Chain A
């Protein structure tokens, strides 16, 4: 269940990174004139590792597969504390990161839709930071970890119900290939 909830989040991340890189290469100037809407970002090809059999060791795909859903931790409403389940998940992440000491990772913080937009941006940041702090306490170099908050802008579960909101209050660790 968690795994199915997780997959879109990972894809979303890859795409966001890809599109921001693309942007960085372009002019910083935003067009003044009404531009045609670009094709939905979902059609951007996310570059999957071209490994025929299983992901390459040390890749983000490898990380996602090894974690089996434990690349994501979940939070209670309005909370950002790391509980026992989260600690176990973060310990697994730390192990993987210890195995690949050159790898960097971004922790994405998210909130459910039942809060105001700006507060949720700050709350997502707080959650991502809580996950980061715990990883650092387990020995991961803080310089390898960055955080980014999406507030309530990138839900992974689409319903407007408690079960969906619980899946969306999350911090997802994404390693950078």
Chain B
């Protein structure tokens, strides 16, 4: 049943493992002993020890993967999986450097005695083998060491250049099985790379994998780029650019390397957002000092529909996962506060009454929370319910802003600006607020925006 997830991998041929190996292993059981529940609860999960030894190969052959031969790749895969599972703070994985390497046969028939002797509660095994046409087949198995049972397995055929995706898919499989949450490691992040002095920062559009690998700059830095948002299909990125001297929103086509304005208006446009189905673009446009929120079909053309119409600054906007509502920011009451409206602009209601200012609301892809920036002197990342209740701070620093969600709605990403230097960095925090970490980026970074889990 768990392998039913595999056909979803469209670009990659699903390669169920049972068909590939003469496997003596029993079919995956569905034991009641698996761990379930929400990772946003207060239970300390970090004690769950997971052993992730090197993935053996049936034959060590050269590959075109950056990690090298199939044997070297087997170790690199285990390292990537270990880093994924460690970095979100939920588990205490031990990677291949500190573990004995299983034989190829043991992948489907683990020596449980070794692993229980090392105190591991969970065991991840996997293998690498060269597939026809230069591709790689990578298998992934999760075992409960105490139960001596296989909990879940998966297999993927990938092109050598995409080997890290198989590792992320395996980490996603383990994470989902153990946490009961949706996967998110196999996803990408668009952000703004920053270099140079504070009064003249160069800001470039850049992309990377969810763990910071496969980094790539999209724009040269000649024009300031800000506030990117990946399209739901990863085909394009909405962002703000000063390309012709004034700030306007463009759609950048990642395949063609071209971009177009979303509206031909000469007015400045800000704060682009996709609808969850990718069919609409929300943006904010200033006219005579006032800023209002508009939507326009993402296909290009079409007439912009104005959604707000009050004096002041109405900006941002984030769709509820079902696309029926939009949460946005407005200073119509005198200071920045968060409002909710129907997707056609009707029924506008303020939802934040905490004191201070509330800005940059982003609806969780699960629908249960809204992340935002709360400003009371310092800027902090907080979450609240969609009705504006249950304010909870996730961070406490001098200046944290612009939260966006992981595809599974369990991790919030934001950028932190250092007092004085103005240097910005991207951080992630889970919904307990206890597991906070800085994302590795080649240079300073801001405005992170996560795309969905890849198919």
Contacts and interface: CB of A to CB of B under 8 A. Distances in A.
Given A113-B417, A122-B315, A35 B286 contact: no
B198 A158 contact: yes
Contacts of B242: 16, 20
A155 B244 CA distance: 21
List the 8 closest A-B pairs by CB distance, nearest first: A32-B257, A129-B289, A20-B245, A122-B291, A116-B359, A125-B286, A122-B313, A160-B419
B388 interface: no
B202 A153 contact: no
A172 to B, nearest CB: 13
Interface of B: 195-204, 216-224, 226-227, 240, 242-247, 252, 254, 257-259, 268, 270-271, 284, 286, 288-291, 313, 315-316, 329, 331, 335-336, 359-360, 373, 375, 379, 399, 401-402, 417, 419-420, 422, 446-447
Contact of A153 (B216, B224, B243, B268): B224
Contact of A31 (B257, B399, B419): B257
A36 to B, nearest CB: 9
Interface of A: 8, 12, 16-17, 19-20, 22-24, 28-32, 34-35, 37-38, 40-42, 78, 80, 113-119, 121-123, 125-126, 129-130, 133, 148-151, 153-156, 158-160
Nearest to A168: B199
Contacts of A41: 196, 200, 202, 222
Contacts of B204: 37
Nearest to B258: A29
Given A117-B226, A149-B268, A155-B199, A16 B315 contact: no
Given A20-B242, A20-B243, A159-B420, A38 B223 contact: no
A119 B357 CA distance: 11
Nearest to A154: B199
B345 to A, nearest CB: 18
B313 A30 contact: no
A116 B199 contact: no
A15 B406 CA distance: 38
B246 A148 contact: yes
Given A122-B291, A125-B268, A37 B221 contact: yes
Given A41-B202, A119-B329, A19 B223 contact: yes
B199 A121 contact: no
B383 to A, nearest CB: 16
B336 A119 contact: yes
Nearest to B227: A118
A118 B288 CA distance: 17
A116 B222 contact: no
A153 B226 contact: yes
A153 B192 CA distance: 12
B398 to A, nearest CB: 8
A158 to B, nearest CB: 5
B195 to A, nearest CB: 7
Given A115-B375, A121-B247, 20 more contacts: A17-B245, A23-B243, A28-B243, A28-B259, A29-B257, A30-B220, A30-B252, A35-B220, A38-B220, A40-B200, A113-B399, A116-B402, A117-B227, A119-B313, A121-B271, A122-B291, A148-B247, A153-B203, A159-B420, A160-B420
A28 B256 CA distance: 12
Contacts of A31: 220, 257
A126 B286 contact: yes
B216 A34 contact: yes
Given A38-B220, A119-B359, A125 B198 contact: no
Nearest to B197: A42
Contacts of A35: 217, 220
Nearest to B240: A121
Contacts of A116: 336, 359-360, 373, 375, 379, 401-402
Nearest to B289: A129
A149 B246 CA distance: 7
Contact of A30 (B203, B259, B359): B259
A24 B360 CA distance: 32
Contacts of A129: 286, 288-289
10 contacts: A17-B245, A28-B243, A38-B222, A40-B200, A41-B200, A78-B335, A113-B422, A130-B289, A133-B289, A149-B268
A97 B380 CA distance: 44
Contacts of A12: 199-200
B377 to A, nearest CB: 8
Nearest to B398: A160
A20 B243 CA distance: 7
Nearest to A78: B335
Contacts of A148: 245-247, 268
Contacts of A20: 223, 242-245
A35 B359 CA distance: 35
Contacts of B202: 37, 40-41
A42 B221 CA distance: 13
Nearest to B290: A126
Contacts of A133: 289
Contact of A121 (B196, B200, B270, B375): B270
B216 to A, nearest CB: 6
Contacts of A17: 245
A148 B240 CA distance: 14
B217 to A, nearest CB: 5
Nearest to A30: B219
Contacts of B258: 28-30
Contacts of B195: 37, 40
Contacts of A122: 270, 284, 286, 291, 313, 315
A79 to B, nearest CB: 11
